[in-house]
Amino acid sequence: MNSELRSNAAGTVLLVEDDQSLRSALSSALKVRDIDYLEFESAQNLQEMLTGPGLPQPACMLLDIRLGNGPTGLTVFDRIKRDGLETRIPVIFMTGHGDLDTAVDVMRDGAFDFVTKPFSTPDLIKKIESALLSSAVAVDNENNQSRLVALLGQLTDKETEVMNWMVKGKTNREIAEICGNSTRTVELHRARVFDKLNVSNAVELVRALSILDS
């Protein structure tokens, strides 16, 4: 295969298009560029994937805005937003010229991007690669947050209290006075916090906790 046709995209495209000929053309374009994809003819076929354990990560969705025979692309997008999946599954809408106003609206509402039929395949691939990269970042952030929450769950109440004062910049002596403990006791709690959260100092601690705000 010509190396120029290959893509650096890592992830899976959820291709939702009811027009079989267009879906086949898009599938071929993705296959030529070694981009993994799953085909869906309708929104109904997609629902099991969105609600089940088999959702690939990272992933993006290439979604026809005007799906026939059931829920429209807008309905699918509303479902994705309701389930909080719009960052893990960035949506690229496929629209006709008559849907440009709607496409602008969904972009404001959180869609990742859109392409207008007939569209340029290289332009579409670039958008897909960007969407998959965005999904990978979101998935990585979610995984890091989950790991951090699990580590925080190992802290005792006193360790959590000491940690909270640490991130506010309080010294061991100040924390000891606030908590009514000896400085030595605070030092022990501080060491246990570092050990349980796999950090070496207060700077790394603050950096680790910042994941929860991302």
Per-residue pLDDT tens, the chain, 214 aa: give them.
333 455 666 899 999 998 899 999 999 999 999 999 999 988 877 877 777 777 888 999 999 988 877 788 889 999 999 988 899 999 999 987 677 788 888 889 899 999 988 888 899 999 999 999 999 999 988 888 889 999 999 999 999 999 999 999 999 999 999 999 999 999 999 999 999 999 999 899 998 898 887 6
Please calculate the CA angle 88-66-55 and round it to the nearest 5 degrees: 25
Residue type, 134: S
- Enumerate the domain spans of the chain: 3-139, 153-213
Please give the pLDDT value at position 157: 94
**Radius of gyration of the chain, Cα coordinates, nearest whole angstrom:** 24
Tokens of 58: 């990272």
Inter-axis angle of helices 183-196 and 172-179, to 10 degrees? Answer: 110
Q: Given the structure tokens 């601690």, which residue do they identify? A: 205
Question: Residues, the chain, total?
Answer: 214
User: At the topology level of CATH, where does 153-213 sit?
Assistant: Arc Repressor Mutant, subunit A (1.10.10)
Tokens of 155: 């802290």
Please give the pLDDT value at position 3: 34
DSSP string, 112-155: -EEEESS--HHHHHHHHHHHHHHHHHHHHHHHHHHHHHHHHTTS
Please give the pLDDT value at position 8: 60
Report helix, strand or coil for 207.
helix
Please give the pLDDT value at position 117: 85
Q: Given the structure tokens 């979101």, which residue do they identify? A: 138
User: At the topology level of CATH, where does 3-139 sit?
Assistant: Rossmann fold (3.40.50)
- The rounded distance, in Å, linking the Cα atoms of 31 and 54 is 21
